[in-house]
Amino acid sequence: MKQLNNRTVLVTGAGSGIGASTARLLAKAGAHVCCADLQHSAAEATARSVAEQGCRASSHALDVREEPQWETVIEQILRVHGSLGILVNCAGISAASALAETPLAEWRRVLATNLDGAFLATKHGVRAMRQAGGVIVHIGSASGIRPSAGAAAYSTSKAGVGMLVRAGAKECRDAGLPVRICAVSPASVRTPIWRSMPFFQDLMAKTGSEQAAFEALEQGGGGQLAQPEDVARAVAFLVSDDARHINGVELIVDGGFLL
């Protein structure tokens, strides 16, 4: 299927996990994918993997917390491609500490990436799309709907993303702008973000590998973890014309976790 032929897509956090899977899937659908990541080398690696499958991609360095970098990347995309039709904001970080023990610096670090980054993605995405139209999709989390103990900063940031999506979608709709804004909110996904969490590091040391640690999580009552591709497929639907009348929603991809 080539639903996205001649569409230009920007994917943040494209260096790994959900972002990398989303970039590859949207490229297969015919888009030119601009892969952006804090680590430019990681974005370049994803762009190379897209090119190796016979699709089109480029890479950009982007710290989603920094507005001047957003301005630079968007300007480059518009100059080279003429328009930006889709923006998928996958960049995000986590932290695991009890609320009463969470340093203010850690709280601010998580919200700066997950919520400030989503705000800047929305702001500059809408500016780039308000004439020709487009779609913005953020990666939220089931933890922003049902809080996760020991991850207050992460849960709060993702809850904020859900409201940002609804507020942004309503604002665009009320202003008559041809821009849809949605979110895909998964439960646990097998991505590198787990490696930053002390309890998961301990679990890897105990079980002997990352794969074994994920299996231990599942066996411990967490249910089957999603693969990044499961989330990417939901994103691909929301950015397609099949979802043209879907706006301001938070699509939950959690295998029933929130039931």
Give catalytic residues, as residue numbers.
Answer: 154
- Residues near 60 by Cβ (< 8 Å), separated by ≥ 6? 10, 34, 35, 36, 40, 43, 73, 76
How many secondary structure helices (H) and strands (E) does the chain include? 9, 7
Query: Which residue bears the tokens 């002390």?
Result: 198
Q: What are phi and psi of 146, to 5 degrees?
A: -120, 115
- Residues near 75 by Cβ (< 8 Å), separated by ≥ 6? none
Q: Which of 220, 97, 231 is nearest to 155 (CA)?
A: 97
- Residues near 62 by Cβ (< 8 Å), separated by ≥ 6? 12, 36, 37, 38, 43, 69, 70, 73, 91
Q: What are phi and psi of 236, to 5 degrees?
A: -60, -40
d(CA 45, CA 72): 21
- Exposed, middle or buried: residue 122 (CB in 10 Å: 0-12, 13-18, 19+)? buried
Asked whether the beta carbons of 149 and 143 are under 8 A apart, the reply is: no
> Would strands 134-139 and 86-89 be described as parallel, antiparallel, or unpaired?
parallel
